[in-house]
Amino acid sequence: MILETAEITVTDAPAFEAAVREAVPLFLASHGCEGVDLHRVVEGPSRYRLLVRWATLEDHTVTFRGSEAFTRWRALVSPFFASPPVVTHSQGIAL
Amino acid sequence: MILETAEITVTDAPAFEAAVREAVPLFLASHGCEGVDLHRVVEGPSRYRLLVRWATLEDHTVTFRGSEAFTRWRALVSPFFASPPVVTHSQGIAL
């Protein structure tokens, strides 16, 4: 499993949250998407982390980003971006 | 639930991972700790994310940080820090 972490600073928190809620089905319908969570950063109330679980890295970077769903996702949320999101991926290490 | 995210860049990945494995019981025995995961960042192989779930913010920032377990945790892992960890906390938003 690959965890996508998108750090997003927003201009309008309630509007952004509503847009993410509307967009959740776009993620869940995408190939390899295993779930999506939204976190708000305690230290910076305009900062969010969108955490998306993908079966593979390419499910996000190739399939989702090349899809119509990605265009719709960005249309929903980008009006509330204060700056471009910073996206990274990580993989769990067995503990 | 509060998610602690510690961004840690390390000097020796295998040694750091082994130290985190040794330290897991210190977290799990701490009041309010609900689980710990270690992720390695795909875009930067010396970068890790330690993700710790706490019942409350104070369980981490007051109780854990003020405990002997925190001193032992730092003694185990800090030899492998390339720079000071960047720690934030976040809270899930209902979607």
> pLDDT tens across A44-77, in order?
989 999 999 999 999 999 999 999 999 999 999 9
CATH 3.30.70.100 fits B2-89, yes or no: yes
Q: Is the ipTM of this complex over 0.90?
A: yes
Q: Where are the beta strands (DSSP E) in chain A?
A: 2-9, 33-41, 47-54, 86-93
Kindly report the pTM of this predicted structure. Answer: 0.95
Q: What is the DSSP letter of A18?
A: H
Q: Cα dist. B44→B10, B24, B34, B55 in Å?
A: 11, 23, 27, 30
Helix (H) or strand (E) holding B58: helix B57-58
Question: Mind listing the pLDDT tens digit for each residue in B48-57?
Answer: 999 999 999 9
Which fold, A2-91? Alpha-Beta Plaits (3.30.70)
Nearest beta carbon to residue A88 from set B43, B90, B95:
B43
CB of B17 closer than 8 Å to CB of B46: no
Q: Is B88 within 8 Å of A41 when comparing Cβ atoms?
A: yes
Record: contact A17-B91, CB cut-off 8 A? no
Which pLDDT value is given to residue B45? 85
